[in-house]
Amino acid sequence: AERIEKYFPHYLKYVCLYWAKHFMSTKFTVTMLEKLKIFIEEKSLFWVESLNLLKQGTRSWDMISIVAAALTAETLQYVSTNDDKMLAEEVRTGLESLKVLTQSFTHSPATLSTPHFYISSLATEFATIGVPENWKNMFAKVPKIKCEGVSNHGTQILLIQTNLECEGLIEI
């Protein structure tokens, strides 16, 4: 708790907890889409980690869901060029990936140990959903996970490959 207080000053906590509310109250522009794309690709994983450390991890899914819902056809009517439409689609796809990742992390025992966000939740999503390429580049050393089949219980069997001496199979 002391380290959290030391490294998360009140203004950083506020930004982590309320950025989506402020985003929703601003006028939609292409510049906002550009900023959102940068956030998704470069900062969002650290934001999810921060919320988890602040014991507010489940709010990440809530906030991303609200922002994703705002990017509807009505909102996107302000996007006119093909480049802007492509940007809007990249943002929408990134938000969907972030929703899946935050849901799988915040609704699992992995939240009890923040490093598991990277070594289990993020690694699993790399193997099972499309994620922004930048995430893969930033976290190239997470364990490699490959779907090896389906168990007789109907769940996926994943092979975890690491650079260590051991490998393991898990059933999800």
Q: In which band, very low, low, confident or very high, does the pLDDT at 41 lie, cut at 50, 70 and 90?
A: very high
State the average pLDDT over residues 27-44: 90
Instruction: Answer yes or no: is pLDDT of 61 > 70.
Output: yes
H-assigned helices in 25-168: 30-38, 44-53, 58-70, 82-106, 116, 123-128, 133-138
Instruction: With both helix axes pointing from N to C terminus, report the angle between 44-53 and 10-24 in degrees, rounded to the nearest 10.
Output: 120
Q: In which band, very low, low, confident or very high, does the pLDDT at 122 lie, cut at 50, 70 and 90?
A: confident
C-alpha 142 chain-centroid distance: 15
Q: Read off the DSSP letter of residue 105.
A: H
State the average pLDDT over residues 94-102: 90
Q: Rounded CA gap, 162 and 159, in Å?
A: 10
The residue ranking higher by pLDDT, 110 or 67, is: 67
Q: What is the share, in percent, of the chain residues with pLDDT greater than 70?
A: 81
Euclidean distance between the first and the last CA atom of the chain, given in angstroms as a whole number: 32
DSSP code per residue over 54-87:
TT-THHHHHHHHHHHHHSSTTGGGG--SHHHHHH
Instruction: Answer yes or no: is pLDDT of 168 > 50.
Output: no
State the average pLDDT over residues 126-155: 71
Q: Rounded CA gap, 15 and 18, in Å?
A: 5
User: In this predicted structure, what is the pLDDT of residue 169?
Assistant: 42
State the average pLDDT over residues 44-65: 92
pTM of the model: 0.78
Q: Rounded CA gap, 124 and 101, in Å?
A: 9
Instruction: Answer yes or no: is pLDDT of 164 > 60.
Output: no
